[in-house]
A and B are shown apart, each in its own frame.
Chain A
């Protein structure tokens, strides 16, 4: 087991030109290097100190086949004939930040987001979800051109649906309050929507904002929220994928996604029984990805629309989150098992696949491979079993009760 007690240095390296080597400071346990080439994101390299001779990171050594492929792809797409630009309709963008008592995080995000409006105009909505004070409202009022909404029903999908009702753009992007956006985020989002007029959802890259604590480093070593550095496009079918479109984890993450507003309204918005906070704090993004694909619209993943996510700092919080992911996924499956019978074969396969995958991860970890400790994988497994044992139905009743109480 590597010592993850010391913080890892997070650096951004621009590979074009001649980047200087990175020397670790005495206290650094390793380095997390975000790799760019001519501004574009092309890779994330995680290196523990014991893998770096003399504590020095040579940038050229980080260019493996995957990084090189991302470099090639970014250079190539701009010059392939028929590329983006001429003759395409740009859709207007709204950006919603759903938060619960995260005034400082919202302020941090707005500081990175609002300057992008000079280049790409967009509307910003902050949905304050059952706040315990007015600190978020004060943060919003201190900035011009940000719309503030108080959503009393506590639950991320209540907040998301509030944004769906209030937004005026054609496309609505959701950002978690614990992210900051890259300077190219809005531009890339808008371009991706213009290039994919048949898309229902666009997701983007999620990179680590910091790699300070053991939990944050572990999470990135385990794969993080990343879905690679090449653009992806999914439809309702996929070659050779027996669990598609249920394998929702490969499509992106709710921390950085945007939806076609008219489409989401037409399919009834987000499922308010998912992403409720405890006891079912997940699954809402998987559910909207799945339902969008099932309408026949496309889901596009664009790595250049990147955000930086502040992962859970405490190991106990990360452990809890793994449980949440298992629970959210299986609650989502339990839901669509009822609501979308035509896809039951794929849904059943996903459940089998997921348990086999969990057992393989446990086995690999006990054999000394893989970053994520057995305890966390176990939490995810237990969460998943809980999700299959009626958690969705219970959550549905709780949400219904919540709506009645407030009405």
Chain B
């Protein structure tokens, strides 16, 4: 079988004996994540037929799994990996968490933020279009956390409200379905030591893969941001050879909004999040579209896998279906927005030609690879794509003043700041 099913996540420190690798609680496989202290250097999925892995077999496999990420840093051993220094004086950091009626998840997220070292200078919870009072109550039960209500629905509106309320030079975003690693902010702040860096993104690890939906999201669809090698992206990423003229720049590879920090100065230069995109509006990609604008304006985006958050993926197939549909809708909408900014036809080719071809290939490939779940999700992804073609028409009417400025050709210069709300 080539399908992978559910998996137990095992975090293994290279310095501590791993013991036997075996799935727990009826899971099919094991996703092993190999760590050197606070740094994940390798991951490997073991399917049911490869398990259990006896303890003595783990070191060679751990070494093989970690070797590419260590070698890519140009060193020969994990202790030679350079640690980026914190800038002095440290800039002020605001953390913005946007939420909507998920008090239990939010409380867990806030607890992890309050345990952060280095600690954020402020934490702002944006309560987006609340139907209940539970978010306010959750926030009021925590020390040091500010509450901001944003009645207009949509993740971008909520993020922009967070930006307006934040006082830090750095605004770090995370989501309510995330918990952050204790050292999360260190690499993020260090990343901004370079004044050319406008955004720092980090690793999004799955919190759990014990349902088929969560495992499929991570293992079949690639999860949110899984690279284990630091990367720097600049304006050259938008052009050949990184991106052929026939394709859109893969800005979504830079990182995800669940683990995204922006320098306050970029909002003045390129504007805030596009409120036509994001959950609650087109569906998603407000994060990558923002990064696209940053790159166009000449900012550098840095990805550092040492900045780690854990994301709770959707646990039911129906939620996964809605998510994939929303993702595709948002993705296509963002491609159209990006075309409006850069006039790069690769965005249109992807939205109207490459994606339909890709879905046809996925359909055929699902028989070859025996991934019936992927095939079952396909109609929803295609539907999302088609909605993406037209969704901007609806949102254009809602937010006219912002559209006009954003859609003006940018010519690689800072985009005019959008009218403040």
Contact = CB atoms under 8 A, between A and B. Distances in A.
A335 B17 CA distance: 43
Given A65-B71, A81-B16, A296-B49, A233 B76 contact: no
Contact of A70 (B4, B58, B67): B67
Contacts of A212: none
Interface in B173-213: none
Interface string B97-133: 0000000000000000000000000000000000000
A349 interface: yes
Given A80-B63, A81-B16, A242 B77 contact: no
Contact of B56 (A75, A195, A236, A296): A195
B1 interface: yes
A195 B60 CA distance: 9
Given A76-B14, A236-B49, A237-B49, A196 B2 contact: no
B319 interface: no
Given A75-B76, A242-B2, A237 B48 contact: yes
A75 B77 contact: yes
Given A238-B49, A239-B45, A71 B56 contact: no
A260 to B, nearest CB: 14
Given A82-B18, A237-B50, A241-B2, A349 B59 contact: no
A198 interface: yes
A298 to B, nearest CB: 7
Given A71-B71, A195-B56, A239 B61 contact: no
Given A76-B14, A76-B67, A233-B61, A68 B49 contact: no
A65 B70 CA distance: 10
Instruction: Please indicate which of the listed interface residues A70, A233, A300 has the most CB atoms of chain B within 10 Å of its own CB.
Output: A233
Given A71-B76, A73-B64, A230-B64, A80 B47 contact: no
A69 B2 contact: no
Interface string A210-235: 00000000000000000000111111
Q: Interface centre among A197, A240, A296, A302, by most B CB within 10 Å?
A: A240
Contacts of A232: 64
A77 B72 contact: no
B221 interface: no
Contact of A69 (B58, B59, B60, B67): B67
B265 interface: no
Interface string B379-409: 0000000000000000000000000000000
A88 interface: yes
Quick one: which of B19, B48, B62, B72 has the most chain A CB within 10 A?
B62
A315 interface: no
B370 to A, nearest CB: 6
A244 B70 CA distance: 29
A67 to B, nearest CB: 8
A76 B66 contact: yes
Contacts of A238: 2, 47, 49-50
Interface string B203-244: 000000000000000010000000000000000000000000
Q: Which of B4, B17, B67, B75 has the most CB of A within 10 A?
A: B67
Contact of A349 (B17, B71, B368): B368
A84 interface: yes
B56 A88 contact: yes
A207 B62 CA distance: 25
Contacts of B47: 235, 237-239
Interface residues of A, number: 43
A76 B62 contact: yes
B57 interface: yes
Nearest to B61: A233
B367 to A, nearest CB: 9
A194 B13 CA distance: 22
A84 B54 contact: no
Contact of A68 (B4, B29, B71, B370): B71
Nearest to B18: A82
Interface string B1-44: 11010000000011111110000000001000000000000000
A83 interface: yes
Interface in A319-357: 345, 349
B357 interface: no
A275 interface: no
Given A68-B71, A70-B67, A71-B71, A196 B49 contact: no
Interface string A236-272: 1111111010000000000000000000000000000
Nearest to A66: B71
Contact of B68 (A65, A78, A198, A240): A65
B59 A77 contact: yes
B410 to A, nearest CB: 35
Interface in A149-188: none
A240 B49 contact: no
A298 B67 CA distance: 22
B250 interface: no
B78 interface: yes
Interface string A89-108: 00000000000000000000
Contacts of A244: 2
Contact of A82 (B17, B29, B74): B17
Contacts of B1: 237
Residue from A83, A84, A234, A302 whose CB has the most chain B CB atoms within 10 Å: A83
Contacts of B58: 80, 82
Contacts of A88: 56
Interface in A52-78: 65, 68-78
Contact of B62 (A80, A237, A296): A80
Contact of B54 (A197, A231, A240): A197
A215 to B, nearest CB: 32
B18 A68 contact: no
A317 to B, nearest CB: 35
A239 B59 contact: no
Interface string B64-88: 1011101110111110000000000
B369 A81 contact: no
Given A77-B62, A237-B1, A242-B2, A230 B56 contact: no
Interface in A104-161: none
A237 B370 CA distance: 13
A1 to B, nearest CB: 28
30 contacts: A65-B72, A69-B67, A72-B67, A72-B76, A76-B63, A76-B78, A80-B59, A81-B14, A81-B17, A82-B17, A82-B55, A83-B59, A88-B56, A194-B56, A195-B54, A196-B56, A230-B67, A231-B60, A231-B64, A233-B61, A235-B47, A235-B49, A236-B49, A237-B47, A238-B47, A238-B49, A239-B2, A240-B369, A296-B49, A298-B50
Interface of B: 1-2, 4, 13-19, 29, 45-64, 66-68, 70-72, 74-78, 219, 368-370
Given A82-B55, A196-B54, 5 more contacts: A81-B15, A195-B56, A232-B64, A239-B2, A298-B50
Interface of A: 65, 68-78, 80-84, 88, 194-198, 230-242, 244, 296, 298, 300, 302, 345, 349
Closest CB pairs A-B (n = 7): A237-B49, A236-B49, A235-B50, A77-B63, A82-B17, A80-B59, A73-B67
